[in-house]
Structure formats: structure tokens, C-alpha cells
Chain A
């Protein structure tokens, strides 16, 4: 099998072509993700039925690791106040964190693009109001050039139209954890479901 792949020009291994991902901090999730972690240098879409089911908790291990590496995290147009005591408790350095509260939704996306372009910014999480394919494409390019990760949180559940992101997840609350469904995963199978248990 390996020989065939090595000799043939039209054959490749799906998973091998992907750059290694960023560990999510949850073994069950890493095992199912095509890049064995959050896809590096790309944009992720996260759909949730409501705010507050644990959608941020899914990214806390990543934020914690980035703050240890001295890379910055930007929160763009968050729906509520990121609560400092809880962030510190989660091991996230406040010095590496910036909150962007633009007046217009359009500025939020511009800020996100600008921040994703910057190598010093490891992660930009945003709560956009309206997204179009060209905008997502631009964000995708910015994340690629800045080698950063963008996360778009959207409150939408019924009949989702996944965006052209590298990864699109749908979340659901379960007892002491989250059910994660892959609506789209570049280099992997869609419609996989996994349950992430909180530590």
C-alpha cells in the first residue's frame, strides 16, 4: 500500500498532507480530528444552541498553552464580559489577552482579520453577527499568513449551513460534558460525533 502511494502521482494519504494541529487538551477530540488537534493556521466555526453551554471551556486548554508560550489571545465583540477571576483560575495570563469592542459589526471582522495576520496573535475568538463566504475566505487567508487560529462562535442550531471554514463544529450540552458533531472537517469525515467530558 505504502509503495503504491509512494510511486503514484495521483494518490496521497489524506491525513499526511495536513500540517500537525494544536492539541485541544481533550483526548477524545484529538483522536477524531483529522490533524490530531485544532487545525493550525485556519479558521474554525462553532455552532451552539445557546451561550454558556461550555463552548469557551472547549478552548481553555489551548488558551492556557498559548499564554505559556507568550502568544496573545484576542476576544472580539464578546456577548458578555470575559470574567477575569475565572480566566486566572483557568491558568490564562491576563497580560496576553485583549478585548476588542468595536462599535460596528463590520469593524469586528476587520479587527479579526488584522489580528489573525499578526504572528504574535495565537488565537482570535469572535462572535460575529453576520458572515459571508468572501469574509470567511479573507479570515482564512489571514490566519494562514499569520499562522494563527480563528474561532467564530455562532448561535445557530437548526438547519445549519456550514461556512467554508477548515472545521465546523456543532455543540450540544450533555451531562458533565459536551457533544461535538463535525459538520465539516477538512481532510476528514463529516458527521462524526464525539462526547467531550469535563475533567
Chain B
């Protein structure tokens, strides 16, 4: 039993089970919770809603090429052009049902001469078909005022003047309506009634590149596979150039005779359309893979396609190609060694030495003007005592200290330490500390001044 709660803390949508116990949309979240003890409430996720809507739009594309999104909940289709192909309106309805049902969403439809009118009717769940603009006014007349897609403030003002249905609005003179409620409202009503054009941005399904390459014979020979991949990447780059686009992720599948396939993922840090570079990254990624069997054919899919942004080239200082060169090198290393092998380091504003750095995007924060070792030992190595002297590959001589570091009491990882700089007979300069939290004489090496 699930409900989705929107940003105003009221129920946005309900599952069938929740509807059965009497939970309705628009209800406060608290009331819904009181109706059922096993209710699972989820926050509304508009990005996922949009994704679902786009998925529906992509499917509607099979019925008509003129598809536009009407977020948050609708898709507008121009179906007149497809009537003959599908053998009438009923054919289109059947085709839509067949293509939308697998998505698992409930939907309502309406057909009208203008997109605005269709939207109003569908959102009010009036599943009717209106033919001819002349019939629009009367067909829409019975719809409630709040079905209009205008801001709540304006809705309240219209409501106060006694308007309850669209029919009441039709009766008012245009000029007076525009003077009292703004030209925007009149323009909106005109668009609904088809007295003003209502152009909509067309939805275009995202670009995707897919191609196969059949090898002349099943082979486990590395050079053959690479040559086939090279051909596919060249095709991909030609496709990208045609669309003035670039990619950062390509999926290649190496199909085998018996077992299914070996996936090879080609990922780059920046979007590119450099075939040679993509092949190099593929080459490195392929070397990490073990092929269970000879390869019969290759299948390439590239769904991550973005507009191409050329790297800005400085006329005078030729640094841009070098930066690109560096990125490309790191990408190759990542493909071969795995992304966890390529690290950047950053400093962090924290008194505890072990928390004053992290692996991550390089940032330089909170650096103390104190002497710190170039090597950090993680975890700190315990020091031993010999003849009542500290020992680490030899007796230690203390040169300076102590530097008291006391911090972290707020997060339970508190430390209280005295740091010293010491050296051993080999000449290694060590950063050592005495742990003051422990009663006995406990010492550690925490770093090396290499």
C-alpha cells in the first residue's frame, strides 16, 4: 500500500490498495496515515515523473511523429495525419493502448481540435472525441473552473466573481475579461478554443547509435577484434560528426559462439569524438577482459550523446592540446587499471592529521603553517621500547616538540596527542606521537619527512 506525498505535504497519487481503504489524492498526508497503519509514503520525485513521461512520449512516437510533452502529466499527439495509416481513430486508440499498457501506467485520453482543449478534457478524465472547432465551446462548457492551467491566485479571483464553469467564462465579453484579469488569460482561452495558434515544442527522442560487425570467422585473436572495433568506432564518429555531437560512454558487446557475450565498457572523462582515442580506451579495457571463447560478432551501443563542445584552443599559448592529452592519458590508465587505481588528493580543514586529507577532487583548504611530513602512515605504526628508549629501526632521537593536537570530541573520534619530530640511526625523520588518551606510555609513528 503506497502513496506519493507532494511538496505541500498532501497526497499526490495513490496505489489501488490505498484507494480501497479510502485514501484519495489531495488528502493531507496525516489523514492518509491515519487511515492505514501499513501505509508506505514516498516523496514525490518530479525528475522521475518527467522520465516516465518521456518514456511514454517515445512510445507514442510509433503512432505519430508530432509528439510534445505537457509536463507534469501529459503528452500531446497530433493524430490527424495518422488516421489513414491506422484505419481511423479507433485504430489509433488501439495502437496507443498496445504501446502504453506495457509501461504499467493508468492513462486517460481525449481528442479535440486544439492541444489545449485535449489537455483540459484528458486531465478532467472526459474520454471523448470532439470534431470541429465549432463544437468546442459547448463541449468544454461543463468543465470546472479549476481545471484551467492558470495560477491559483487568478483562479481565486475568478471564483470570487461567481465563475464556476468554463461556460461562465465564455459568456463574459473578451475586452472586459482582458481588462479585469489580464491579456494572458484571454490569450490562453483563445488558444484552447482554437482562435489563436498554439505552437508546441516537438519532443525528439534522444539520439542513439547502434551498429554490429560480423567477424569473417570466430576468432580469439586480439588484433582481429581490435580491427573490427576500429571499424565500428569510425562509424560511430561519422555518426557523431553528422549530428555535431560527442560521447563519453560506449558499450560494446563481444558475442561468442556458445556462451552469450563479454561486455566491454568504454568510458571517457570528457565527451569526445576522436576515433583513435576511443579505440585506445577500448584496447585498454579489452586487455582487462578474459575472453571465454572466440568472438563471432561485435555489437556497439552508444546512448550517451551530447552536443559537441570543442576544446578552446589558445592562439598564443598552446596549452589546450596538452590538457586534452593529459585527460586522454588518464582515461587510458583508468581503462586498463580500473578507475579506483587513479586517485587525486585533497586537503581538508580538520585538526586530526589523518582527517586533514582525502582522496577526491583536488582542493586546498585549511592548511596550517606547521611542519608536516610528506608521507602519512595509515594506520599509524606503534613504536616499541627498548632499554627504556623509543625504537623504530633503531633508537630514536627526538629533535623538536611537543605539538599538542586535541580535537574531534564532537564526533566521537576524539584525539589527544603530543607530536614530536624524531630521527633514527638510518637518518629517517619521523613524525611520532604519544597517545594521551591511553594511560600507559603509548607511542606511534604517523609520518615520514621524506
Contacts and interface: CB of A to CB of B under 8 A. Distances in A.
A174 B371 CA distance: 20
Interface stretch (B61-69, B81-89, B202-210, B375-383): B375-383
B342 to A, nearest CB: 6
B344 A99 contact: yes
Interface stretch (A10-18, A30-38, A74-82, A184-192): A74-82
A98 B330 contact: yes
B439 to A, nearest CB: 29
Nearest to B427: A173
Contacts, number: 157
A199 interface: no
Given A56-B450, A70-B322, A173-B423, 4 more contacts: A81-B345, A85-B347, A87-B374, A100-B337
B362 interface: yes
Nearest to B347: A84
Interface string A111-145: 10011011111000000000000000000000000
B33 interface: no
A95 B325 CA distance: 16
Contact of A82 (B340, B353, B356, B374): B374
A181 interface: no
B333 A85 contact: no
A52 B430 contact: yes
A105 to B, nearest CB: 12
A174 B425 CA distance: 10
A49 B425 CA distance: 11
A115 to B, nearest CB: 6
A52 B347 CA distance: 21
B345 A97 contact: yes
A78 B319 CA distance: 29
B341 interface: yes
Contacts of A98: 330, 342-344
A52 B448 contact: yes
Contacts of A84: 345-348, 356-357, 364
Nearest to B324: A120
Interface string A79-112: 1111111111110011101111111000100110
Q: Give the top 3 A-B pairs by smallest Cβ distance, nearest first.
A: A173-B427, A52-B448, A120-B326
A50 interface: yes
Interface in B354-406: 356-357, 359, 362-364, 367-369, 371-378, 393
Contacts of A89: 367, 369, 371-372
B113 interface: no
B364 A88 contact: yes
B375 A101 contact: no
B364 A81 contact: no
Contacts of A21: none
A185 B273 CA distance: 45
A68 to B, nearest CB: 13
A154 interface: no
Contacts of B319: 70
Given A99-B345, A118-B329, A85 B356 contact: yes
Interface in B392-433: 393, 423-424, 426-430
B429 A53 contact: yes
B308 interface: no
A94 B325 contact: no
B428 A103 contact: no
Contacts of B342: 98-100
18 contacts: A50-B424, A50-B426, A52-B430, A55-B450, A56-B374, A56-B450, A81-B345, A85-B357, A88-B364, A89-B367, A89-B372, A94-B363, A98-B344, A100-B343, A101-B343, A120-B326, A172-B427, A173-B428
